[in-house]
Amino acid sequence: MSEQLIKEYKPMLMNKRFLTDKQLSENLNISRRTLQDYRDKGRIPYYRLDGKILYEESDIDIFLSESYRPKFDD
């Protein structure tokens, strides 16, 4: 994840960093509905804690690296 995320968010639980649904959608520039689709389809792991959706930073890194497709050059 970006250096800004590392500086901005402190470990919350067992030295792991988590992002909320809102934070992740803003950082990835996708809608919260798209994140819900990813959750529903099992594409991205998440935790539900007290009704709040949380994503572990390392899971986001894995999701992004697995979803990466190189740019197609003509």
Instruction: Note whether residue 58 is domain-resident.
Output: yes
- Does position 1 have pLDDT exceeding 60, yes or no? no
Instruction: Note whether residue 41 is domain-resident.
Output: yes
Instruction: Note whether residue 8 is domain-resident.
Output: yes
What pLDDT does 30 receive? 94
For the chain, the helix, strand and coil percentages under 3-state DSSP, each to the nearest 5: 45, 20, 35
Say which CATH number the domain at 38 has.
1.10.10
Residue 31 domain boundaries: 3-66
Domain count across the chain: 1
What pLDDT does 43 receive? 92
Query: Angle, to 10 degrees, between the axis of helix 32-40 and the axis of helix 21-28?
Result: 110
Q: Whole-prediction pTM value?
A: 0.73
Instruction: Note whether residue 24 is domain-resident.
Output: yes
DSSP string, 9-73: ----BTTB-EEEHHHHHHHHT--HHHHHHHHHTTSS--EEETTEEEEEHHHHHHHHHHH--PPPP
Instruction: Note whether residue 71 is domain-resident.
Output: no
> Residues 18-49: pLDDT tens digits?
999 999 999 999 999 999 999 999 999 999 98
